A and B are shown apart, each in its own frame.
Chain A
Amino acid sequence: MKKLFVPLLIVVAAMFAFAPIVIANARYESTMGLIQKIFYFHVPSWLAMYSAIGVCGLASLIYLFQGSRTADCYAVAGAELAILFGLMGLVTGPLWARKAWGVWWQWDARLTSALLMWLIFVAYMLVRKYGGPGSEKLAAATAIFGTATGPFVYKSVDIWRTVHPTTNVVPTLPRDMALALLYCMIAFFLLFLVLLTVRVGLAQRQMALDDLYLAGED
């Protein structure tokens, strides 16, 4: 991963630089107009958030059952990225909603559950920051419960009648729109990988520094 980092960074930067052109060239959706273009950043940011949640939940499980401290570094990186990409989704969503539905926010099942899932990971960071020693396990449990809500958030639009579009929209897109979306999804996923690498590296250095500090005290 570390060897790939610089090429990956260049690829991500190039993809994001080129993204506006790809999005502009995709079909103009006539009912919603220009605001529909936000879709190409809104959906990929949630994809990146689900990826971050997956990493955080899985790493927390490994940390909890095997005590691997590297896994804990992945968990904290995943949680921070989940907050970051979730925030992107929570900002782009209302911007779109204001135009499409006329309100910034609707208390429907998808919006409410997505906000809750995001809050669980904010709570995760609060526990890590203010819980003091011994809070890592507590945080890991929080992450596992947070990850368990993920599938509910994803399926919520199919279970309840919501104003938010269902999961059917993406597989039935016209070809040019689907390709643009795929492009943005790859860009966001690669960005997620780059940030994850940086953050895990930082967490590992913090861990090494803590160990050195403790060893120096003894």
Chain B
Amino acid sequence: MIFWRTAWLVLRKDFAIEVKSREIVYTTVFFAVASVLIFSFAFVKEGVAPEGAAAGILWVAIAFAGTLALGRTFERERYNDTLRALLLAPAPRAALYVGKLLGMIALLAVTEALLLPLLAFLFAAPLFARPGLLAALLAGGTVGFSAVGTLFAAMLLRVRSRDVLLPILLYPITVPVIIAGVRGTAALIGPQPDEPTATMWIGILTAFDIIFLTLSVWTFEPLMTD
């Protein structure tokens, strides 16, 4: 009970700070849109994007923007040395992780909600043809990416050259999640939507989510203890 209450309080604290400044949500969303534009320059030839490009662009934009947001969320804690205060609080440490993770998922959900219509509009991709399956893919991918990202971003606070090390650690570990997301989405937006393939990738995403979440919640406490 105290676990979920702590997680909720951490989430509400981050939300209250974010509502005042809106710094992370604005920068993240802008960065995601900017990376979509860069990809369109890279892929579009003679005014037409290659088939299935939208799936790749969507997920890479989420991964890039997510990395930026992860760095910023924890930089805020480091700047005021408030993470130490959080860790000193008589509350389960894993609950702090869960609170931060929920905040990250919410932020990425906002970014995705803006990216999807943009991509559907710019690349004429039928992203909304199977909304249920697409939502499941996005949810699975976001949870897996944020689970690993939150853990590593929190740990990197006490390490030198953290800005460089976050993507170096995050991408190799989370690429399976990104691959599953891209392949699943590509199966959905192809000329013949392939629902069994998408469902298969959702299953793989779920497996990775369970592994990543278990490992993260399990190791957060010893990792954040000096």
A and B from one assembly?
A: yes
Residues of A that sit less than 8 Å from B by CB = 64-65, 112-113, 116, 119-120, 123, 126-127, 130-135, 137-138, 140-142, 144-146, 148-149, 152
Residue of B at shortest CB range from A61?
Answer: B219
User: Which one, B156, B161, B215, B222, contacts A145 given CB within 8 A?
Assistant: B215
With a CB–CB cut-off of 8 A, which chain B residues contact A127?
A: 159, 165, 168-169
CB atoms of A113 and B173 under 8 A apart: no
With a CB–CB cut-off of 8 A, which chain B residues contact A123?
A: 168-169, 172
What is the number of contacts between chain A and chain B, taking CB atoms within 8 Å? 69
CB atoms of A130 and B222 under 8 A apart: no
CB atoms of A146 and B173 under 8 A apart: yes
Binary per-residue interface labels of chain B (180-222) against chain A in the complex, 1 for a CB within 8 Å, 0 otherwise: 0000000000000000000000000000000110010001001
B223 CB–A CB distance under 8 Å: yes
With a CB–CB cut-off of 8 A, which chain B residues contact A142?
A: 152, 169, 173
With a CB–CB cut-off of 8 A, which chain A residues contact B164?
A: 130
CB atoms of A148 and B165 under 8 A apart: no
Least CB distance from A153 to B in Å reads 10
B155 CB–A CB distance under 8 Å: yes
Least CB distance from B115 to A in Å reads 25
With a CB–CB cut-off of 8 A, which chain A residues contact B156?
A: 138
Count of chain B residues near A, Cβ 8 A? 24
Interchain CA distance A65-B172 in the complex, whole Å: 24
CB atoms of B165 and A130 under 8 A apart: yes
CB atoms of A135 and B159 under 8 A apart: yes
Residues of B that sit less than 8 Å from A by CB = 148, 151-152, 155-156, 158-161, 164-165, 168-169, 172-173, 175-176, 179, 211-212, 215, 219, 222-223
Instruction: Name 15 extra pairs, CB < 8 A, besides A116-B176, A130-B164, A137-B222.
Output: A64-B219, A116-B172, A123-B169, A123-B172, A126-B168, A132-B160, A133-B160, A135-B159, A137-B223, A138-B152, A138-B156, A141-B155, A142-B152, A145-B215, A146-B172
CB atoms of B215 and A148 under 8 A apart: yes
Interchain CA distance A137-B158 in the complex, whole Å: 10
Residue of A at shortest CB range from B161?
Answer: A130
CB atoms of B211 and A112 under 8 A apart: no
CB atoms of B175 and A138 under 8 A apart: no
